[in-house]
Amino acid sequence: MSDKGRLLIIEDDAELVGALEVYFSRAGYEVITAVNGLEGLQTLYNVRPDIVVLDIAMPKMDGWEACRRIRELSDVPIVILTARVQEDERVRGLKLGADDYVVKPFSLRELEARLEAVLRRVPEAKARRTGPLFANQELAIDADRLLVTRDGKRIDLTPTELRLLLFLAENVGRVLTHRQILDKVWGDEYSDDADYVKLFVYRLRHKIEPDPKHPRYILSERGIGYRFVDPFA
């Protein structure tokens, strides 16, 4: 495997795929390609990539459905490529499980920076201090085993979701601003984009909260950020 890992590109534009393959091979990635969502799912199952670049507008199976299906199979980081600039389209991708998005047209260096930022969060989520981080009669967060359970059942989280939850739980009872969360979980390059925090909190609530519409673990502090609490304390 190449130094930076295995990159799966799911994109039907042959010219763009060629450019991406040359650029990222030179950048140190092992590049594998697929021309549509269906082929991409089959390739993902066979090659187990470290990160996926996923186009939205494709034949046979579009990127929305492919993203949803990938999340059923794997927590591999996903970066979406889209020509659609509407905010609701970007929100949709992140809600479906993508870790980031890049809007076409983009520079190859911009995409490379996004991939590296996402990949940095994977080992960082794993390099936590040992031992249980939080536990009550309902929810348990074990930083050593990277295991989150609710009512004794494992909750599957992506690396970014896990890193966010660990940061919140490490600061139980404290109000964390959007900027603090962005700097810690995403990095400096995301420090002005509070939408990432909002969308990933939305995803976490749907996984850990008994009633996501009435959260009791991740509370909103209007205009400021979020606070993680123990409802049984």
What is the tens place of the pLDDT at every residue in 1-27? 468 899 999 999 999 999 999 999 999
Beta strands in the chain (DSSP E): 6-10, 30-34, 51-55, 78-82, 100-103, 132-135, 139-142, 147-150, 153-154, 175-177, 218-221, 225-228
Q: Is the pLDDT of residue 59 over 90?
A: no
Q: Is the pTM of this model over 0.75?
A: yes
pLDDT at 26: 95
Residue 49's pLDDT is 95
Query: How confident is the model at residue 86, as a pLDDT?
Result: 67
Domain ranges of the chain: 6-125, 128-228
pLDDT given for residue 127 in this prediction: 52
Q: What is the 3-state secondary structure (H, E, C) of 65-76?
A: HHHHHHHHHCCC
The pLDDT value recorded for residue 145 is 80
Query: What is the pLDDT at residue 2?
Result: 64
Instruction: Give the pLDDT score at 77.
Output: 93
> Tens digits of per-residue pLDDT, 118-171?
998 876 655 555 567 899 999 999 887 888 999 999 999 988 899 999 999 999
83 within 8 A of 103, measured Cβ to Cβ: yes
Q: What's the mean pLDDT in 191-216?
A: 93
| Model pLDDT, residue 33 | 97
User: Higher model confidence: residue 75 or residue 202?
Assistant: 202
pLDDT tens track for 181-194: 999 999 877 877 88
What CATH number labels 6-125? 3.40.50.2300
Q: Give the tens place of pLDDT for each residue, 68-112.
A: 999 988 889 999 998 776 667 778 888 889 999 998 889 999 999
pLDDT at 50: 94
Q: What is the overall mean pLDDT for the chain?
A: 90
User: Between 1.10.10.10, 1.10.10.410, 3.40.630.20, 1.25.40.10, what CATH number should domain 128-228 receive?
Assistant: 1.10.10.10
Helix (H) or strand (E) run with residue 44 in it: helix 37-47
**Residue whose tokens read 């590296």:** 116
Token pair 């929810």 in the structure block, residue: 139
